[in-house]
C-alpha cells in the first residue's frame, strides 16, 4: 500500500486519526489561570513559575481555538486592571523618601497600562476646541469664482 492509498483509506474510515500529544486543556485549568490573572499576575509569570500551568504559547493557542477562553481572559484582564488601579494608592501610601523613585515607577507603570487597556475609564480625556484667529470664533468664508 502506498501513501496515497493509505491517505485515502484513512480519510474514508470512521476512526478519527489524532496526531500529536494529548492536550492538558481543561475548563478548570483555564479558570485557575484566569483567576490568577484577575488577581494581578501576568500570564507570562504564571506560565513560567507554576508547574501546573501550560506554556504561554499553548494558552494563546487555546484562546485562538475557543471563544469561551477569549471571553474569560478578557474579563480577567479587565479585573486585573481594576486591581492594579486600586493598587496605585497602596503603593503611593507605602512609599518612603528612600523608596519614592521605585514607587513612582510602579505607579506610572500601572497608570500607563490601565490607560491603554481600559481607556474609557482610565485614559486621558481628549477634548478638541476649534477657535479662529487670536482665540476668537471661527469665521467661514466662501470664495466664489470671481473672488481671489
Ordered by where they begin, the domains of the chain are: 23-118 (1.10.10.60)
Q: What is the pLDDT of residues 71-119, one digit of tens each?
A: 999 999 988 888 887 888 899 999 999 999 999 999 998 888 878 877 7
Residue reference for cell 500500500: 1
What whole-number distance in Å separates Cα of residue 7 and Cα of residue 57? 30
Question: Which of 1-5, 87-91, 120-124 is predicted least confidently?
Answer: 1-5
Q: What is the pLDDT of residues 50-60, one digit of tens each?
A: 999 999 999 99
Query: Positive or negative CA dihedral for 128, 134, 138, 142?
Result: negative
C-beta atoms surrounding 60 within 10 Å: 15
Amino acid at each position: 500500500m502506498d501513501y496515497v492509498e493509505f491517505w485515502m483509506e484513512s480519510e474514508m474510515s470512521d476512526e478519527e486519526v489524532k496526531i500529536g500529544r494529548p492536550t492538558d486543556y481543561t475548563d478548570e485549568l483555564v479558570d485557575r489561570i484566569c483567576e490568577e490573572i484577575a488577581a494581578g499576575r501576568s500570564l507570562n509569570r504564571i506560565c513560567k513559575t507554576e508547574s501546573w500551568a501550560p506554556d504561554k504559547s499553548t494558552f494563546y493557542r487555546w484562546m485562538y481555538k475557543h471563544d469561551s477562553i477569549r471571553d474569560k481572559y478578557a474579563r480577567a484582564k479587565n479585573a486585573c486592571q481594576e486591581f492594579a488601579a486600586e493598587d496605585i494608592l497602596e503603593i503611593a501610601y507605602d512609599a518612603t523618601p528612600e523608596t519614592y523613585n521605585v514607587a513612582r515607577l510602579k505607579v506610572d507603570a500601572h497608570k500607563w497600562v490601565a490607560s491603554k487597556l481600559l481607556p474609557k475609564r482610565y485614559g486621558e480625556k481628549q477634548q478638541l476646541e476649534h477657535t479662529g484667529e487670536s482665540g476668537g470664533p471661527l469665521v467661514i468664508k466662501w470664495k466664489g469664482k470671481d473672488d481671489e
